[in-house]
Each structure stands twice: as structure tokens, then as C-alpha cells.
Amino acid sequence: MVKMKIIDCDYLVVGSGIAGLTAALELSERGKVLVLTKKDAGETNTSYAQGGIACVMKEDDSFEKHVADTLRAGDGLCDVEVVESIVSKAPDRIADLERFGVSFTEYHDGPDRYDLGKEGGHSKRRILHSGDITGKHIQSGLLERVRATPGITICERTLVIDLITMAWLDRLSTRNSLLGHVDPESNRVTGVYALDCDTGEILAVRSPYVILATGGGGKVYLYTSNPDVATGDGVAIAWRAGVPIRNMEFIQFHPTCLFHPEAKSFLVSEAVRGEGAKLVLGDGSEFMYQYDERGALASRDIVARAIDHEMKSRGEPCVYLDIRERGETFIRERFPTIYDTCRQFGFDMARDLIPVVPAAHYFCGGIDAAINGSTAMPGLFACGEVACTGLHGANRLASNSLLEAAVCGYELARHLAELPPASDYKKVSVPDWEPGDAVPSDEAIVVEHNWNEVRTCMWDYVGIVRTDKRLERAMRRIHNLSTEIREYYLNYLVTPDILELRNIAAVAELIVRCAQQRKESRGLHYTLDYPAVSSEPSADSLIRDDAGRYRKD
């Protein structure tokens, strides 16, 4: 047994992006809020969002049009009520962000003052942006506000290991180590075990309400626009506790990440195409109109697939963005960060074609959750990219993600205000962390190797174009790797690397399992074995049977 520090709070928020911080701010009026985040609080997927946040702002636009665009992108799998509700709540959340000091780029004073951007799949200009670093502005505005709010504590460099649930505690107390199915309905969350990444110490945080706002998991793939923190932690944690997971096959690949060996798939925002950039081959010829009448501004699933097809059929390593026509002054003013970054890698947007490739960008699936964050497990809530609410369906409309995170973070807090206060719940007694025979790792190379293998396997077999055979192959490899990872997890003291590896392997398995359930091509899931949309009524894929697997008990 390892003696643990125990921390108590009323509301535990895991993750410090837009969803988590919005929830934390609202909840601070009701009780003691603890925000756990695995790196520095500003290092989130939110911080890297470039394009902006979608919201109906002009007379010539309407909620109906925004809803229609979202449904069209979602390819038959959106929940219409959820879409209508989130779209209509956008203006209030934008007003909150402005109150928190986030400023969106404007043309001039007056009601139509915003410089609204356009992105793929939108029939109108409706993307509010802060230059080309919208996410950074939102992140710093919210964080400043959170840091100044009494009642919220941020605990950085702390990585959640697993949920502590009543069912798990019951199993331990009856010394029943069988890891059978747990009915999530009878199972309340009571807190989490977490690792202090600086000291290696294990903590137990007790809280009757746990909010997972951990973002997505682009790092499951070899190439991704996401930062290193995006390892799908929330989905993996919830799944291990038996919470249903939905629609994981719908991985959005962003069509235009900078193609350069050292650029780490730097995103070249879709807003660049919104301002007129064409997608071209090396000889300058446009190809997108052969695939969709909207050309380079078709929805992302279509554009990414078209690029993949052009690259593979021609044996080319990339395609190109061409925005030279807009001239240097406009480009530098509208996209200063993208311009500078491209320059750093040797490309001048005003003079050169910019080489781009698709890379994993966003999870449309996740923890099965309502707009108010509730999940099948009492006390457990999820919001932002980690959650699957029904807004995105089979493919997310650009810039709807920050919107969903802001709306759901807020709605979740409002919902929690109607539930019994934390003081109504008795504090449970949490067993000390049981390291078993674990010793410090002397085989870090195994983690490194398995990390690369999971990500390569997902890129090669579960990417933009899938087949039954590729999925089977991927599943076999992920299973073998998961067994090895579990052994490693049990035999060595936990480190951030092993915990993240365990999470990406779990998420990889969920993606493959959901993809295997879907015998059709729809939205972001495209398979050569079933190339058409099924004529059966569309349904979500759901996984709900893995309570307790891979846990250290």
C-alpha cells in the first residue's frame, strides 16, 4: 500500500479547456471547485483552435440556417433537438466570453461590427474569431477569470488514473476481484485516483460530482493537428468504469495540416479556404470541384477524402493550398500566426503554394452524454470534445466544437445547481493505492515502442479509408498491445507515459469496435467494403460492456 494524500471538493472538474473552465466558473457559486489538469492549465486543445466559434450574428443568417448546415454535415446522425438547442444558445455564451475579456475581431462599431469568417459546410459567414488564434484568446480570458475567482483551485500537472466508483469500492470490500459487468445505473462515482506528475505521488480526490472535460484524443493517430495532451483520457477513464461510449468511428481528419517533417502537423485553418484559398495539385490545377459543388469549402469529410484519393492515386506526398491571389497585406493581417509559421518552415503564403496533408483533428464520438453533461453514471458528467451529445452526428461542422464546449459547460453547471448539494453526500473511505509488486520502470523503451505502434497501426488501418480486413488487422494488434500494456501497468510504478499509453490503446480499441459495428459509409466513416450510406434508419454505434477491464484491482 502507498500512503496517499486525500483531497476533498464539492465539484471536481478534470480538464482546463473551454468546457472545463466554463463549468468551473459557473459552479464556483455553489461550492468548492477543484480543476485537475495534466500539464500547465493553458496547455489544452482549446488553446490551439485557430478558426473560431460559430454563432449566428447577422440579419442575413438565422438559427435555422446554422441548424441546417450542421445537420447536412452530420450526415443523418445528428440529434435535431440537441442541434437546435445548442445553436440557439450560442449568442448568450458569446456574450459571456466577451464579459470574461475575450475580444473577437471587429471591422468597426455598430451591430454588424464583427469580422465573421467562413468555413467548410457553412452557408453563411458566422465564425467569430480573434485573428487566427481564437483558442488562445479564449483560453487566456477564461483562465484569468478562473484564477481570480474565489472557490476554484487549479491543480496542475496532475493526471487522473481512474474513477473511484461505488461498485468498485463494493467489489474491493467483498474481496471479489472478478471484473464482471457493472450496471452503471447502480454505480455512483465518488472521486478519482490521480498521479502528481512532478512527484510521482498518488492522490485520491473525493467528490460527489466529477466532470470530465478532458478534450479529444488525436494522439491516437500518428499524424494529428492536436497537441501532445490529447490522449483521449476522459473516454478511456469513463469506459474502464463501464460508462457507455458512442460513435467513436467518426474521427474528423482536418484536410489541411502543413506538410513538413518538423511542423508537427501544424494546422492551416479552414478559414484560409474561407478567404479564397484553393486546393490544388503540384501543377496548380484545382481538383475539389470534381468531388463537390462547394469545392474547397465542402464539408471536411469530403475534402479530406478527396485529398487522400488524389495523393494515393497520383503517388504524391501532399497537395497544396493557394491563397496567393489575396496578396501579402491581406494574408498577413488576417492570418498573422499562420503566415509566420509557414515562413518559419520556408513557405511564403503570399508567393508560394503551401504543401498540406490531412491529419486526425477531432473526435465526434465520446462519452454518451446529454447537453447538460449527464451520463449513465450518477455523479459523472462530461462536456466538450470528450462527450458525444448528438450535435456532430457523423461529421462535425467547422467551429461548432468551441460552441458546444461553451454551451454544454454552462448547461452542465446549471443542471448541477438543481441537484442535491455536495454536502448531502457522505464522504466514502477510499483505500490506499495498491501498487502490488510494482517497481520503478527500467524498460521505458517498451512504452515508447508501444506508443508508436498503436499510433502507426491506427494511421495505417483505421484512417480516412477503411476496410473490414484493415479493421480486423488493427483489432488484433491493439489487443496484443493492450495485453502487454496492462502487464506493464501492473508491474511498474505508474508514470504519466504509461497512463497515457494505456489510454490511447483503450481509445484505439473503442474506435475500431465502433467502426466494425458500422456496415456502411457515412460522414467520416468511409469503408471500401460498404461504400454507400445504408438504407436502414441511421443509428449510433454504442459500446457499453467493459466495466472494470484493465483496472488495477
The DSSP line for 27-69 is: HTTTS-EEEE-SS-TT-STGGG--S-EE---STT--HHHHHHH
Which range touches ligand SIN (CB under 6 A), out of 9-17, 215-223, 269-277, 510-518?
269-277
User: Phi, psi (5° rounding) for residue 456?
Assistant: -70, -45
What is the layout of strands, in order, in the sheet containing 251-258?
A: 251-258, 354-363, 319-322, 278-280
Contacts of 62 (CB under 8 A, 6+ apart): 56
Q: Which is nearer to ligand SIN, 231 or 401 (CB)?
A: 401
> Measured between alpha carbons, how far is residue 477 from residues 214, 221, 231, 246, 472 in Å?
26, 14, 19, 22, 9
Measured from the CB atom, is 66 or 502 closer to ligand SIN?
66
Phi then psi for 294, rounded to 5 degrees?
A: -85, 0
Residue whose CB is less far from ligand SIN, 209 or 362: 362
Comparison of 16 and 399: residue with beta carbon closer to ligand SIN = 399
Please pick, from the candidates 46, 190, 395, 399, the single residue that binds ligand SIN as defined by CB under 6 A: 399
- Binding part of the chain for ligand SIN, among 264-272, 377-385, 428-436, 466-474 by CB under 6 A, reads 264-272
Of 50 and 231, which has the nearer Cβ to ligand SIN?
A: 50
The CB-nearest residue to ligand SIN is 51
349-368 residues near ligand SIN, rule: CB under 6 A: 362
Pairwise CA distance, residues 34 & 408, whole Å: 19
Determine if 247 is a binding residue for ligand SIN (CB under 6 A): no
Going by C-alpha positions, the residue among 115, 119, 122 that lies closest to residue 255 is 119
Nearest distance from C-beta of residue 51 to ligand SIN, angstroms: 3
| DSSP result, 430-480 | PPPB--TT-B--S-HHHHHHHHHHHHHHHHHHSSSSB-HHHHHHHHHHHHH
Minimum Å gap between C-beta 270 and ligand SIN is: 3
Judged by CB under 6 A, the chain residues 493 through 522 that form the site for ligand SIN are none
Backbone angles phi, psi at 94, to 5 degrees: -65, -40
Catalytic annotation, pick one of 188, 300, 455, 522:
300
Q: Which three cell numbers, joined as nine digits, stand for 212?
A: 470530465
Rounded distance, CA 181 to CA 197, Å?
A: 31
Least distance from ligand SIN to the Cβ atom of residue 120, Å: 8
Contact range with ligand SIN by CB under 6 A, out of 8-16, 143-151, 290-298, 394-402: 394-402
How many residues line the site for ligand SIN (CB under 6 A)? 10
Specify whether the CB–CB gap between 13 and 146 falls below 8 A. no
Nearer to ligand SIN, 51 or 523 (CB): 51
Single out the residue of 401, 450, 482, 541 in contact with ligand SIN (rule: CB under 6 A).
401
Q: Does 69 bind ligand SIN (CB under 6 A)?
A: no
Q: Verify whether residue 300 is a known catalytic residue.
A: yes
Binding flag, residue 398, ligand SIN (CB under 6 A): yes
Binding of ligand SIN by 271 (CB under 6 A): yes
Q: Verify binding: residue 215, ligand SIN, rule CB under 6 A.
A: no
Q: How far apart are CA 139 and CA 428, in angstroms?
A: 34
User: Which set of grid coordinates corresponds to residue 400?
Assistant: 461548432
Q: What does the per-residue mask of binding to ligand SIN show for 22-51, with x meaning CB under 6 A? A: ----------------------------xx
Residue 458 to residue 20: CA distance in whole angstroms:
28
**Which positions touch ligand SIN (CB under 6 A)?**
50-51, 267, 269-271, 362, 398-399, 401
Catalytic residue set? 300
